[in-house]
Structure 1
Amino acid sequence: MPVLALAQEEQAKTLETVTVTGSRIKRAELEGRVPVQTLTREDIERTGLTSIGEIVQELTGSGSALNTKFNSSGNFGFSPNGDGVGAGSAQVDLRNLGPKRVLVLVDGLRWVNESSASGVSAAVDVNTIPLALVDRIEVLEDGASSIYGSDAIAGVVNIITRRNVEGGQVTVHYGQYGEGDGQLGGADLSWGFNTDRSNLFLSLSYTKQKEVSSDDRAISAIPLQGGSSRVPGGRFAFTDPDGNEYDLTTNAGLSNPVYTPGLPDCESGVARTDDFHCFDFGTDAFNFARFNMLVTPSERLGVFGQYRFQFTENTSFYAKALFNRRESTNRAAPEPIDLGPGAGTAYTANVVIPANHPFNPFGFELVGGEGGNIGTIRRRPLEGGPRIFEQQVDTQYFAAGLEGSFGGQRRFFWDVNAAYSKNEAEQTNRGSYNSRNIATALGDPAVCAATPGCTPLDIFGFGTITPAMLAYISPLFRDRSQQELTQATANLSGVLFEGWAGDVEFATGYEYRKYQGSYNPDPQTVAGEYNGVPSLPTSGSYDVNEVFVEFNVPLFAQDGGSQKLDLSLAGRYSDYSTFGGEFTPKYGLRWQVAEELLLRATYAEGFRAPSIGELYGSQSRFDALLVDPCLVPPTAPLGSLAPIACPGVPVGARQNDPQIPVLTGGNPALDPERARSFSVGMVFSPAFAVDAPWSEKLDFEVTFYRHDLQGAIQAIDAQTQLDLCANTQASQYCDGITRLASGEIDTFSNFLVNLGSIKTDGWDVDLFWTLPETSWGQFKLAWQNTFVTRYEARGAGGQLQPQGPGIVVNDSAIPEWTSTAVLGWESSDWSASWTVRHLSEMEETCLAADPATYCSDPAGGSNTLDATTYHDAQVGYAFDVLKGLQLTAGVNNLFDEDPPVCTSCSLNGYEASTYDIPGGRFFYLRADLKF
């Protein structure tokens, strides 16, 4: 894991003038004015990981975010943020405020937001940035809108690219899980040269990650919340011409079932003797979990180059270019076919299966829609195979700029930059169905015969759907999305004048950005024919003009700078074409009390402009795991009553499926989010621990942070809205929730709004200790901790959302304590490290179908996720014989610690953004050769 570099920054060094993340003022000192965490190349290689997202997600201050452990297509549908599913991407979250509130920069310039062919996202996919080009990663965990503008509410991740490289380097790596799967391999090739006036750096990288199937681990091979009522033999609920109600499924193993008229219906309790039996959720439910993935496969190919040329002593030029391709895959269980009320499209909801249809076993017409006799028909056609979602994402980036300096003793530094970046994505969906063709193939045989390609469809029984039937109802679906970012900046910084306590420094500048984004689903989807998750096209654009100014004013200095008090001031005005102007200030104090002790504090106001997807995103759907309090739970005994009696819901009505479709989408009336951030901290480097027999250097750091976000853009938590509607029947919660005559939810509208507030605070406590070098080598210890003391989200009406410290909800965990300790050792040609990662215990609502087995407190309806500790080990050796060759071997999760069971998580039985996968001991080898 990375080592915080703040303490080292406290010692003033004579360096080339640089810009540190968190300030625009160029200085010859790295002073630690704000809490910046630096991940060096060495820190990155120590993790054994190959994705920037995975590396940053292991920081103690990181929150839950998408990564390749999320099999995020299929039933995930579209996120409630209106931005698609981010399939195959890796995002970054800081302070649990969400990836869209983290600004991602590359060499100080913004990176384009992701495209995953399913929406217009407000977050960056850092898998579009190859790890091979990274020199270091600087992470600012503080509000920085006044410095960088929108999106920097929770902090900034600034990826610094490699330059001034001399010669070539080849890196080859390979790893796999102890179970023999999830193979990860790749190679990086880089080369650079330097002259007196120029330097060039080129890199080529390739990484291939193979899948880990959910069926290969016990925790993920079964759905903990219970299986699906969409079963391979079909579930058929209908009323016959005599008014008898049936809820049938096909007996196992039979095809072309025979329905015998006059046999008992399912309300009588008498067993049937034909090829059908009464459906029972406990015994007939389908195991969809085994088709999912614990690790999704992907391939990434990246090419990067940058060239710098110095025209004069004071003026230089640079140009950069990048191309990156990511190919990834998600997989879900075979797509179900639903017919009758509540089905996904008008074609399937209003289907008519005539009595003369060659495969209708009932002998009378089945009619969907209002007044029809179909209650529900649900069939899981295994014949079509699982749904496969394949993404191809291409990223292009071009940047150029001039930079230089002028002046005499007081020098001024200037730069002008322009950059263009684009993400294009295409997703191909195999194994889904066209609902219009389904309705035609189940309809009038004469109409089907007159329709090119149509083959009558048999959904009644096991193995009844032939290849010819599939060819008609299962075409390919192709979705596309694109995002573009055009930006230009001009900056000036330097010393205004010499004040009574030192130089008064400043920075100022102008920035222009234009965002463009679009999402274009398959024409069949636009026409309302897609049997899966419906969506419509989205497109939009906006631009922004900004000016900023920043000052550093020394207030007091003594003893040659060993005692010093500085005031920093910053402000930015942003003019958006979508909503107008916004001003954000920031104030900071840095007090060098003594050489040993530094105190600092910051207060910042920030904002985040609504993104294209949030403003213009069309209506989409995601399937949420919800408990409907108005219905009897699906596994409850017959005769049970619902927890709450709701108007219009029949007594004893049962929730037949834990997955409820929830509609979401953008809102053009959204306002910006506004935030206030505060931090205060200290860095203590005691003199008694410098060059002592037991210590070469010891640094101790404590930081308190607080973020207060108002008008947060998100939808109210769906379960919270459903519970409040059931308990209060208030229109503000119940509007948009409609029910079928059976009592089950038909539509659930849950669109984006400016939610009430999110408030969070906590502490970072870090220790860094370098021991004296001996004949045994040298040891270094870095121990980092984050304690979340508050996380409180409230809706616009004041309703408390379920998230909080020590709670898991909606596939998102907020541990109260996250800790990482790294013990490093170097001796001559050898190096080694031992990393310990700890997550405190958490609680969740118990949603397991078998709570006695999977929940710690089934009577209380809760489950405890035990504290989890992972151990990682690595050893390396640099060869003298072949200089420049280093071999490194390591294992992550050395003791094969399984994640705690999460019954409320959507897939795979654990929380994928926080824990390693089950059966997760990962071995790897890496060879580095420099030439």
Structure 2
Amino acid sequence: MNIKLRRSPLTLAMHAAGLLALPLFATPVFAQDQQQATKLEVIEVTGSRIKGSDIATQVPVLTINSDDIEKAGLTSIGDVLQQLSSSGSALNTKFNSAGNFGFPPDGSGVGSGSATLDLRHLGSKRVLILVDGLRWVNETSGSGVSASVDLNTIPASIIDRIEILQDGASSLYGSDAIAGVVNIITKRSQNGAAVNLYAGDYSLKGGKNTSGNASFGAKGDRYEFFVDFSHVKQNAISSSAKAQAGAECVPGTGLANCSSATPTGRFIFFDPAVGDVVSVTPNGAFPNGPSYPSDFHHFTTADRFNFAPYNLLMTPSERNAVFAQARYHISDNVTWYVKGLYNTRKSLNQAAPEPIFLGPGAGTGGLADSVGVDVTNPYNPFGFTLDPDPATGNLILIGRRPLEGGPRQYRQDVDTYYFATGLDGSFGLADRDYYWDVNFFDSKNSATQTVNGTYNIAHIQRALGPLADCTGSCVPLNIFGGPGTITPAMLQYIQYIEHDTSENKLKGWTANLSGELFELPAGAFSFATGYEHRKYDGSYTPDAVVVAGESNGVPSLPTAGSYSINEYYLELNAPLLKDMPGFKALDLSAATRYSDYSTFGGTTNNKFGVRWQVYDDLTLRSTWAEGFRAPTIGELFGSPARFDATLQDPCSAPIADPATAANCAALGVPASYSQPNPQISVRTGGNRNLQPETSKSFTAGAVYSPGWAADSGWSQRLDITLGYYRINLKNAIQAPDAQTQLNRCVASGDPNSAFCQGIHRNATGNIDGFNNTLQNLGRIDTSGWDFGAVWKSPQWSFGQLTANWQSTYVEKYEAKNEAGDLEPRTVGIEVTDSAIPRLTSVLGLGWAQGPWTVDYKLRYISPLKEDCAGAAGFPICTSPNEVAPNRPDGTHRLGAVTYHDIRASWKVPVNFDLTVAAGINNLWGKNPPICVSCSLNGYDASTYDLYGRFSYVEASLKF
């Protein structure tokens, strides 16, 4: 199928005229120093392919240099970028979910140990990551084929600067550049050698961070090179180190929302002796086996298992990397370069001992639903078979958490390889200069995930079944007597070590040409054009036991796919007016890109921009752009898998609302049904019928650099920026929000409702089927404002002061399905471990005097609301009567948070270049607000800092 977005010349002209008529305000998040820009040599700035000093002031680019990275006091560039005011929820090493929940619908896996970046709250898949202008390979952590780049594969020590374009740029860079582009510029050379050592620690027990790197380089008349070796190690912090994270499964609810799979076991079945269904658990541990019914009691909330202390607040990780690049000037006009990187990561995630759920009430949709206990099992205390047949049997559910097997541990071994080479140069023709480059890159990210503490359900079925069938290596299993009844021999038979692998490959060629075509009255008409070819390959291969459907863990199937792209682009820049009253300069730019995908066909995307420099101090800018994002390998080819979503079933007794009770009855749910576990399994997977996402974005803003504040008695420089953005995204590739779909299904009371399609309940009322696969689901509309101010004082007798204030205000964020129904995620709401704060603001203050520098940073996150969900009915649900479509269970409030960071450095007065520094992030030990709807640890790890303060010291030596 061809996606055609081509415009006629008349349409293009109308768009251009419309842009000229708009009130123009630019969206640079960080002001470009225009005085400095006039001194630049020929360069290429992210956001334009045209090389030239004037272009540097035409695009709204935030620049973060290596000094800014050091001042953050963090070892991961992903963590640094997640502190941007425009950054949204993204994966980092504070997430401890490596398969214990399952697989997200896009086939990407959970990315354990990775760090990604979200801009404008549109997701990390809609941010394009470049390194030196070329695409970087997507991550994989042994659990899927991801569509996002792991920023932990790029060592912070090799970075010279980062340019962040927070504007749609598909016309220049192709797919994924809907929310913005991040271009990481690496160091090309260095004068001599350097060593950096770093150590930091949290105020909680554990979490020590260390890093070190050694680098060397040189630069001559015809060559330059840089080599860097780096090491980063981050230790674990257990959830038990913090009461909020480790004391309760849902903070403020005690054991009420904890797991029904307990070390003693829970057994729900029809007891012929009492003529009714019973839900019982042993009174304690019985090494010699319990007697039924005297050693059992009715299962209550007090019997539930608190899994939270087994989790991790900080996941351990160790990364080692070597990077090298060299450039050689073959002639005055031709340069050859070559660069390479190898990065290896070892990381670990941990969850509580894996629960074993058996019987039709398990709702796994797999083999476990058909496992019971035969009467001949030597440990069966009931005296009859627990038959799992949903039509004729007596078993509903068995839940047993074998502490004897230890916690689940997911270990990732990830290797990233990158190689690039090419030529760049210039030539003259007809008194004009032209610039060209050709590039080749080849990269791979491969991973193995090893899982300990999981079980073979087929072996469990055999060990619980007829004793006559338990022969050979089979050992009869005792799950009835509480902790200690599962012997080492039993564990050896039912446990196995799971090995999963995944891989992403990216290979490409590019060629670019830019220069000036002819003169206009206001300057040269310039252009850039080029060609790019890319080839993506990805695969995920789960363990053979998992593929066979015999794993007690989350089932999945292999995924593999590939696709290729050929792209052509053209960018033009026309200076229309210059040095006229009210028009210091007026430029019009346009760009178009045609992309031909092997998976869905072709698409053309256009972009127009206007830059109006009113006078020396004031510049106005605006852009209008089309964008797209092609479905990725995981989204297209991701095989069916399962995700154990934390959901609140409205049909779970007791039901306070009579209308809801009636609707549940109409859906066939028995009045006695009670949701056995807070997690409900949903079916995820890719969709080969997906079409690309398309977007239209508009930005407008102003940059004010007053001359009266330049080189004055109180100011050396002052830049003020104000920007507006609006992004309209159609055919958004995502799965329906499962909780919202379930709520709407129950509210309809109609099993034939569109919302109930794909949701299946068994005779007990338990949901044992929930289709949550990917769709082109409706649209996303978002808009907001960016504000920035940068000030630098003169060099006073007591030092020099600096201030940098950057803020983002999200005006609107709406996601709608195809029917026009609003999804729950919106501004000011916490949902699914992610948040969209109304206002995020970062203020940095600095002082420098001689060898000393001191930096102080304040980071503000505005308050949020969330659905009380599992905390409904408990005092922690602060506003139970404040109900909204995205908060049907009442409202819990998360207060505003301000973090304070401080750092001081001193250049030691010795004969060699030595600088020492120390700092504290979260100086006052501010704890994150309690989140009752978050999956783990009672807080949103993608929005807030870890509990307590983080202190670090650092030393840098150059020689």
Residue 921 of structure 1 pairs with residue 949 of structure 2: yes
Residue 250 of structure 1 pairs with residue 275 of structure 2: no
Contact 2:286 2:481 in 1 (8 A): no
Deviation, 1:850, is 6.9
Q: Spell out, residue by residue over 1:573-612, the C-alpha distance to the aligned partner (whole angstroms, 9 max, x if none).
A: 0000000000000000000111100000000000000000
Q: Which one-letter code corresponds to 2:266 in the other structure?
A: R
Q: Spell out, residue by residue over 1:249-283, the C-alpha distance to the aligned partner (whole angstroms, 9 max, x if none).
A: 1113444443336xxxxxxxxxxxx2100011x21
Matched position secondary structure for 1:691: coil
Q: Which one-letter code corresponds to 1:249 in the other structure?
A: T
The match for 1:324 is 343
Deviation, 1:335, is 0.4
Alpha carbons of 1:646 and 1:906: their partners in 2 closer, same or farther (altered >3 Å)?
A: farther
Taking the aligned partners of 2:737 and 2:701, their CA distance within structure 1 comes to: 34
Q: Which one-letter code corresponds to 2:952 in the other structure?
A: Y
Residue 285 of structure 1 pairs with residue 304 of structure 2: yes
Residue 822 of structure 1 pairs with residue 823 of structure 2: no
Matched position secondary structure for 2:446: strand
Structure 1 residues not aligned, in runs of 5+? 262-273
Q: Spell out, residue by residue over 1:217-253, the C-alpha distance to the aligned partner (whole angstroms, 9 max, x if none).
A: 0110121162111111000011134543211011134
The match for 2:601 is 580
Q: Which one-letter code corresponds to 1:774 in the other structure?
A: W
Taking the aligned partners of 2:892 and 2:665, their CA distance within structure 1 comes to: 26
Choose which of 812, 829, 832 in structure 2 pairs with 1:790: 812
Residue 135 of structure 1 pairs with residue 166 of structure 2: no
Count of aligned pairs: 912
The match for 1:236 is 267
Contact 2:112 2:349 in 1 (8 A): yes
Matched position secondary structure for 2:33: helix
Matched position secondary structure for 1:694: coil
Taking the aligned partners of 2:714 and 2:65, their CA distance within structure 1 comes to: 26
The match for 2:645 is 624
Q: Spell out, residue by residue over 1:194-233, the C-alpha distance to the aligned partner (whole angstroms, 9 max, x if none).
A: 1100011000000000011111101101211621111110
The TM-score normalised by the length of structure 2 is: 0.93
Residue 415 of structure 1 pairs with residue 437 of structure 2: yes
Alpha carbons of 1:471 and 1:440: their partners in 2 closer, same or farther (altered >3 Å)?
A: same
The match for 1:94 is 119
Taking the aligned partners of 2:285 and 2:468, their CA distance within structure 1 comes to: 31
Deviates more, 1:653-662 or 1:471-480: 653-662
Alpha carbons of 1:21 and 1:383: their partners in 2 closer, same or farther (altered >3 Å)?
A: same
Deviation, 1:646, is 4.1
Deviation, 1:14, is 2.8
Choose which of 234, 237, 249 in structure 2 pairs with 1:223: 249
Deviation, 1:443, is 1.2
Taking the aligned partners of 1:413 and 1:576, their CA distance within structure 2 comes to: 28
Q: Which one-letter code corresponds to 2:458 in the other structure?
A: R
Q: Which one-letter code corresponds to 2:701 in the other structure?
A: G
Q: Spell out, residue by residue over 1:690-747, the C-alpha distance to the aligned partner (whole angstroms, 9 max, x if none).
A: 1222211111100100100000000111111111111123532111100021112111
Choose which of 44, 47, 57 in structure 1 pairs with 2:69: 44
Choose which of 888, 891, 896 in structure 1 pairs with 2:920: 891
Q: Which one-letter code corresponds to 1:830 in the other structure?
A: W
Matched position secondary structure for 1:69: coil
Taking the aligned partners of 1:856 and 1:443, their CA distance within structure 2 comes to: 49
Taking the aligned partners of 1:383 and 1:258, their CA distance within structure 2 comes to: 18
Contact 2:427 2:434 in 1 (8 A): yes
Contact 1:10 1:32 in 2 (8 A): no
Deviation, 1:917, is 1.2
Contact 2:916 2:956 in 1 (8 A): yes
Structure 2 residues not aligned, in runs of 5+? 1-27, 883-889
Contact 1:97 1:154 in 2 (8 A): yes
Choose which of 477, 486, 490 in structure 2 pairs with 1:465: 486
Alpha carbons of 1:67 and 1:642: their partners in 2 closer, same or farther (altered >3 Å)?
A: farther
Taking the aligned partners of 2:871 and 2:567, their CA distance within structure 1 comes to: 54
Taking the aligned partners of 1:800 and 1:90, their CA distance within structure 2 comes to: 29
Taking the aligned partners of 1:310 and 1:6, their CA distance within structure 2 comes to: 34
The match for 1:35 is 60
The match for 1:14 is 39
Choose which of 811, 823, 832 in structure 2 pairs with 1:801: 823
Deviation, 1:15, is 2.8
Taking the aligned partners of 1:716 and 1:175, their CA distance within structure 2 comes to: 41
Contact 1:631 1:643 in 2 (8 A): no
Contact 2:442 2:506 in 1 (8 A): yes
Contact 1:309 1:318 in 2 (8 A): yes
**Relative contact order, CA 8 A, sep 6+: which one is greater?**
2
Choose which of 138, 141, 146 in structure 2 pairs with 1:116: 141
Matches within 5 A, 1:430-579: 430-448=452-470, 450-558=471-579, 563-579=584-600
Q: Spell out, residue by residue over 1:733-783, the C-alpha distance to the aligned partner (whole angstroms, 9 max, x if none).
A: 111100021112111111100011000000001111111211110000000
Matched position secondary structure for 2:232: strand
Matches within 5 A, 1:730-745: 730-745=752-767
The match for 1:662 is 682
The match for 1:599 is 620
Alpha carbons of 1:770 and 1:30: their partners in 2 closer, same or farther (altered >3 Å)?
A: farther
Contact 1:352 1:439 in 2 (8 A): yes
Alpha carbons of 1:715 and 1:836: their partners in 2 closer, same or farther (altered >3 Å)?
A: same
Matches within 5 A, 1:80-479: 80-221=105-246, 222-224=248-250, 226-242=257-273, 243-260=275-292, 274-280=294-300, 282-343=301-362, 344=364, 346-370=366-390, 371-407=392-428, 409-448=431-470, 450-479=471-500
What percentage of residue pairs aligned between the two structures are identical? 52
The match for 1:268 is none
Q: Spell out, residue by residue over 1:142-181, the C-alpha distance to the aligned partner (whole angstroms, 9 max, x if none).
A: 0000000000000011100001311111000000011242
Matched position secondary structure for 2:449: strand
Matches within 5 A, 1:892-907: 892-907=921-936
The match for 1:881 is 910
Residue 702 of structure 1 pairs with residue 722 of structure 2: yes
The TM-score normalised by the length of structure 1 is: 0.96
Matched position secondary structure for 1:631: coil
Residue 930 of structure 1 pairs with residue 958 of structure 2: yes
Taking the aligned partners of 1:866 and 1:697, their CA distance within structure 2 comes to: 36
Q: Spell out, residue by residue over 1:769-828, the C-alpha distance to the aligned partner (whole angstroms, 9 max, x if none).
A: 111211110000000100000000001111100011110001110000000000011100
Deviation, 1:628, is 1.2
Matched position secondary structure for 1:432: strand
Q: Which one-letter code corresponds to 1:248 in the other structure?
A: V
The match for 2:8 is none
Deviation, 1:403, is 0.5
Taking the aligned partners of 2:912 and 2:876, their CA distance within structure 1 comes to: 54
Taking the aligned partners of 1:392 and 1:9, their CA distance within structure 2 comes to: 46
Deviates more, 1:75-84 or 1:556-565: 556-565
Matched position secondary structure for 2:360: coil
Name the Cα RMSD after superposition: 1.9
Alpha carbons of 1:256 and 1:806: their partners in 2 closer, same or farther (altered >3 Å)?
A: farther
The match for 1:759 is 781
Taking the aligned partners of 1:633 and 1:214, their CA distance within structure 2 comes to: 32
Contact 1:345 1:528 in 2 (8 A): no
Matched position secondary structure for 2:553: coil
Q: Which one-letter code corresponds to 1:829 in the other structure?
A: P
Q: Spell out, residue by residue over 1:48-107, the C-alpha distance to the aligned partner (whole angstroms, 9 max, x if none).
A: 011111111100001000000000214331123332111111001000000000000000
Alpha carbons of 1:77 and 1:170: their partners in 2 closer, same or farther (altered >3 Å)?
A: same
Contact 1:632 1:643 in 2 (8 A): no
Taking the aligned partners of 2:306 and 2:663, their CA distance within structure 1 comes to: 26
Alpha carbons of 1:508 and 1:725: their partners in 2 closer, same or farther (altered >3 Å)?
A: same
Residue 682 of structure 1 pairs with residue 702 of structure 2: yes
Taking the aligned partners of 1:896 and 1:783, their CA distance within structure 2 comes to: 23
